Amino acid sequence: MTEKTDIRDSDEKEVEIEMERLDKKKCSSQFTLSSDCIRRFCEKYREARIILISSWKNGFISSHNEKNTPQIKELEAQLDRYGIRIVGKVCDNRYRDYAVRDYLKEHPSIKEYVVVDDDIKEYSSKDIPHLRLVDSKVGFW
C-alpha cells in the first residue's frame, strides 16, 4: 500500500481524485465539502488538474457547465479560489486502478500524477503506484 507519493511541481501534473468521501465531512448523514480540506489539497498540489474517479464523476458534464450537479458547482467554486479546476472524469470500470490505467492510455501526455483516494477496496490490489490514501474523515492532514 502506497501512503505517500512525492511529485514535482510541473504544468503537466494531473491529479486523479476520489471525491466520494475525500475533502468532505459527515454532517447529519450527508457529506459536505470541507473548505479546510480543499485548501490543504490546493496548497499541496498547486498546479493540479483534477480528473474525477468516484460517483462524483456522474455529476460532472464539463468544466463549469451549467448542467453540472450543485455539488460539482460548489466544488468548482471552491477550487477556483486556488486556480485549480476539474478537467475530466474516468469511465466506469470494475476497479479504479483499471479506470486510471485506461485514462492514462487515452491521455499519453500525462507523465506525473497522483491518485488520491480513501478506499483501497475499490482497487485490484493494495500496491498501486501513485496512490495516496487519505482518511475519509479528515481528508488531507
47 falls within a domain:
yes
* Residue 123's CATH number: 3.40.50
125 falls within a domain:
yes
User: Within 13 A of 8's CA, how many CA atoms are on the CB side?
Assistant: 4
Q: Structural domain tally of the chain? A: 1
**What are 101's strand-pairing partners?**
none
In this model, does residue 129 exceed pLDDT 80?
yes
6 falls within a domain:
no
124 falls within a domain:
yes
1 falls within a domain:
no
- E-assigned strand segments in the chain: 13-17, 24-27, 30-33, 49-52, 85-89, 112-117, 131-133
- pTM here? 0.70
Q: Which domain, by its residues, includes 85? A: 13-133
In this model, does residue 20 exceed pLDDT 70?
no
